């Protein structure tokens, strides 16, 4: 973690299992540097059973930033906790519809957008099997234009559903900003940044009620929950038929300053040596500049 001016603080957030040799080496370096550790739930159901390695993350991490409705189901029993997701740090000043400048071809404009993933673990996190069934019904029963970004290579073509590959981030923001709603069928997604980005762009969301993370973004100002393919058409049509204020709501409740203030308050209760700051920021671990970082500064 860093101060708002970029000063490095002696706390590291562990956001996923430490499984590779490089991760283990880097973790040892951070311990020798005198860093202290907190956990943040950013990978599937980590650190719950079945989503971690053999390490005791209850001993390593003194506190937890989590996304769960029922944290006792996933988190170690001891230590302070706070409902804070990495996606809460999404910056409305950076993800702003007035700053989305990418030219958008007509074939990338859609009423409903779903962002999936080609890697198997991403398909699991994004819940592609349910997405495919729901989007098929939406296209067939409503005539809405449906777009799937980063569609699995095995996805079958469905009339009314356009499947495309991954997009560069500026173009993805343009696609989201032009949509009428974002469809999020995920369950094992603890920190859906695309959900926060859609809200910052003023786009309402339709979200699986069972999602691990991001559920705290869903309310009458931002969109609605659905339960499965039997009610998805009704819920989407209802959301598209109402007015919402997703950007105003997200800006009033989240963003780097608000999320960082919550994190600072949690950690200062454990470490009185932390400076008196308005908030802290999350940055990539500077000690390992390559992909696959074990933690977040």
Mean pLDDT per block of 10 residues along the chain (297 residues) reads: 92 92 91 94 90 89 95 90 96 93 86 91 87 93 94 86 94 95 94 94 97 96 97 98 97 97 96 94 72 45
- If one looks up domain 97-250 in CATH, what number appears? 3.40.50.2000
Which helix (DSSP H) or strand (DSSP E) does residue 267 occupy? helix 256-268
CA distance 50 to 52: 6
Domain ranges of the chain: 11-90+254-296, 97-250
- Cα 137 from chain centre: 26
- Tell me the H-state helices in 33-95: 57-60
CA distance 216 to 221: 12
pLDDT score for 87: 95
CA distance 6 to 3: 5
CB 46, CB 17: distance < 8 Å: yes
pLDDT score for 296: 52
Sheet with 112-115: strands ordered across: 161-163, 146-149, 112-115, 181-184, 205-208, 223-226
pTM score? 0.92
pLDDT score for 121: 77
47 prior amide bond cis, ω within 30: yes
pLDDT score for 290: 41
Which helix (DSSP H) or strand (DSSP E) does residue 137 occupy? helix 128-142
pLDDT score for 291: 40
């Amino acid at each position: 973690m860093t101060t708002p001016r970029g000063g490095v603080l002696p706390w590291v957030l562990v956001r996923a299992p430490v499984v590779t040799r490089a991760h283990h080496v880097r973790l040892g370096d951070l311990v020798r540097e005198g860093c202290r550790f907190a956990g943040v739930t950013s990978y599937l159901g980590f650190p719950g059973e079945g989503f971690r390695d053999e390490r005791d993350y209850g001993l390593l991490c003194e506190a937890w930033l989590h996304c769960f409705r029922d944290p006792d189901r996933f988190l170690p029993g001891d230590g302070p906790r706070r409902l804070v997701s990495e996606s809460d740090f999404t910056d409305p000043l950076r993800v702003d519809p007035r700053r989305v400048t990418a030219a958008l071809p007509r074939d990338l404009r859609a009423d409903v957008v779903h962002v999936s993933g080609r890697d198997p673990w991403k398909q699991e996190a994004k819940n592609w099997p349910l997405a495919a069934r729901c989007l098929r019904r939406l296209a067939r029963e409503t005539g809405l234009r449906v777009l799937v970004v980063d569609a699995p290579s095995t996805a079958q073509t469905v009339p009314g559903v356009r499947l495309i590959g991954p997009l560069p981030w500026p173009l993805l923001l343009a696609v989201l900003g032009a949509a009428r709603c974002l469809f999020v069928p995920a369950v094992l997604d603890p920190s859906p940044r695309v959900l926060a980005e859609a809200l910052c762009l003023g786009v309402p969301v339709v979200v699986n009620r069972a999602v691990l993370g991001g559920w705290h973004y869903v309310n009458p100002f931002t969109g609605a929950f659905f339960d499965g393919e039997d009610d998805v058409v009704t819920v989407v049509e209802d959301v598209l038929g109402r007015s919402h204020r997703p950007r105003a709501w997200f800006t009033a409740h989240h963003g780097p300053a608000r999320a960082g203030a919550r994190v600072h308050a949690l950690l200062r209760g454990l470490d009185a040596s932390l400076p008196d700051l308005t908030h802290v920021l999350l940055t990539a671990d500077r000690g390992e500049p390559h992909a696959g970082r074990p933690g977040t500064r």
